[in-house]
Amino acid sequence: MSCSLRDEESKGHSRLDLAFCEQVKEGEGGSMAVRRCSRQILPWTHTLWALLRSRNGYRKFCLDRPKYAHFLTYEELKNDPKTHVRKLAEFLGCPFEGEDAEAQVQDIEKGCSFEVLSNHEVNKAGGFPSRIAFIPSNSFFRKGVVGDYEEHMSAEVVEKIDALTKEKFHSFGFMYGV
């Protein structure tokens, strides 16, 4: 999932990525205020729970304020990339216009494809050191095919993940395929 929040006080020129923000709270006059973003990368669960526990929920905030927040799931982007590339560009304040708009959207779609990104030299060679081992750059890429998990996990593991997902996310309105 991806959701970006436009900073209202800066007249829309800057945006805050909530993925690393510590807290979302309601400010005066019903506007949303965001406490300064943490520069440390927190474990994803802590970050996710902090966002989802906001007064009305992160997803609801995104959907209720389309001018200031854009909510997008992987499945939506995968099913209709051109539409969502256009919507994201409009949200960011730089919509595609003119005769070559369709070509620009196609170029972005092609440039962000698995085939193109995974074949960049920087993603084929090199990697990142960690405390345990060196992690090759190409380990961060997978096919990106919806349902590909069935090739890597048993039915029992999938059932456990589905049950956990339903338990943890259902109350927040996330019910994709569960």
Q: Residue 128 corresponds to which tokens in the numbers above? A: 């990142």
Distance CA 105, CA 92 (A): 15
Domain residue ranges in the chain: 2-72
Return the higher-pLDDT residue of 99 and 145: 99
Return the higher-pLDDT residue of 2 and 84: 84
Distance CA 36, CA 9 (A): 14
Q: Which of 95-109, 111-125, 163-177 has the lowest mean pLDDT?
A: 163-177
Q: What is the pTM of this model?
A: 0.51
For 59-96, the pLDDT digits (tens) are 676 677 777 777 777 778 888 999 999 999 998 889 99
- The string of DSSP codes covering 58-104 is HHHHHHH-TTTEEEE-HHHHHH-HHHHHHHHHHHTT----STTHHHH
- pLDDT higher than 50, residue 40: no
